[in-house]
């Protein structure tokens, strides 16, 4: 049994691959930013004194963590359509991915919040800072710092999982690949190229998070402590 690979036949479609890769990065970028925000709010919500808010946040996190991403995407896609909201596949994908990664972010951030020693908060209270100021200045950044590796891995995973959005015809990398392979009948070559492109995208994201870490945690930079 021998395999004949014909990469040039597939590679001549490179503008489509590049377009798909860029769209995947855009999906990941928007979902990461809004998912980080949503997840942080949900983590704060789970720690509030309001039982109702804490319960809502818990139900959200558990519902998302125990259902498949594809089902969530379909729910958002058909759900928004059935209430008359006509959104592009890209927008639907960003919304669905945000909701998904928000739940995982909430769990990671909760671990980060819990790792902040009680004494830090007492010291801040003793200095008359408001609750919001304490969260903003004392809790948030050190909490993110403690869980930064877990957090960034989750966002890279999100980028990889966004391939599922091909199912609602968002024109991201996997959707482009499906299209090219059905056009060229060169499925193996197509997906090898796609796999390499995903690896490159992961490396790009990890480099981005590394740079962001240098900005967010100047103490690490100054003292040379690795994250």
Partner 1 sequence: MQQTASPTPIVSLRDVQKSFGSLKVLDGVSFAVERGEVLAIIGRSGSGKSTALRCIDRFEKVDGGEIIVCGRRVDLPDIDLRALRQDVGIVFQSYNLFPHLTIEQNITLAPCSVKRMGLSEAKALARKVLAQVGLEEKVHAYPEQLSGGQQQRAAIARSLAMQPKVMLFDEVTSALDPELTGEVLKVIEQLAADGMTMVMVTHEMGFARSIADRIVFMHRGKVHETGPASILTAPTTPELVQFVGTGNLKS
Contact footprint for partner 1 (CB under 8 A)? 117, 119-120, 122-130, 133, 137-138, 141-142, 145, 217, 219, 222-223
Cβ 133 to partner 1 shortest distance, Å: 5
Question: How distant, in Å, are the alpha carbons of 19, 88, 93, 171 from that of 179?
Answer: 13, 19, 18, 10
Select 114 or 125, whichever has its Cβ closest to partner 1. 125
Select 8 or 224, whichever has its Cβ closest to partner 1. 224
Cβ 156 to partner 1 shortest distance, Å: 24
Cβ 210 to partner 1 shortest distance, Å: 18
Alpha-carbon torsion, ordered 164, 167, 171, 177, to 10 deg: 80
Select 26 or 145, whichever has its Cβ closest to partner 1. 145
Select 65 or 137, whichever has its Cβ closest to partner 1. 137
Distance, in Å, from the CA atom of 164 to the CA atom of 196, rounded to the nearest integer, reads 17
Which of 114, 221, 105, 109 lies closest to 156 in space, CA to CA? 105
């Amino acid at each position: 049994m021998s395999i004949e690979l014909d990469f040039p036949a597939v590679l001549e479609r490179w503008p489509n691959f590049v377009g798909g890769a860029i769209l995947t990065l855009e999906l990941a970028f928007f979902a990461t930013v809004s998912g980080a925000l949503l997840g942080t709010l949900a983590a704060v919500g789970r720690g509030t004194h309001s039982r109702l808010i804490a319960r809502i946040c818990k139900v959200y996190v558990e519902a998302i963590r125990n259902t498949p991403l594809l089902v969530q995407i379909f729910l958002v896609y058909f759900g928004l359509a059935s209430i008359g909201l006509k959104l592009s596949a890209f927008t639907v994908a960003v919304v669905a991915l945000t909701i998904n990664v928000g739940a995982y972010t909430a769990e990671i951030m909760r671990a980060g919040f819990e790792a902040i020693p009680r004494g830090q908060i007492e010291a801040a209270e003793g200095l008359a800072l408001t609750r919001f100021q304490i969260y903003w200045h004392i809790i948030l950044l050190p909490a993110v710092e403690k869980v930064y590796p877990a957090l960034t891995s989750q966002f890279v995973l999100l980028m990889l999982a966004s391939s599922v959005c091909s199912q609602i015809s968002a024109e991201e990398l996997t959707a482009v690949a499906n299209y090219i392979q059905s056009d060229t009948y060169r499925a193996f070559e197509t997906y090898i190229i796609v796999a390499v492109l995903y690896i490159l995208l992961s490396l790009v994201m990890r480099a981005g998070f590394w740079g962001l870490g240098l900005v967010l945690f100047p103490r690490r930079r100054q003292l040379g402590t690795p994250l």
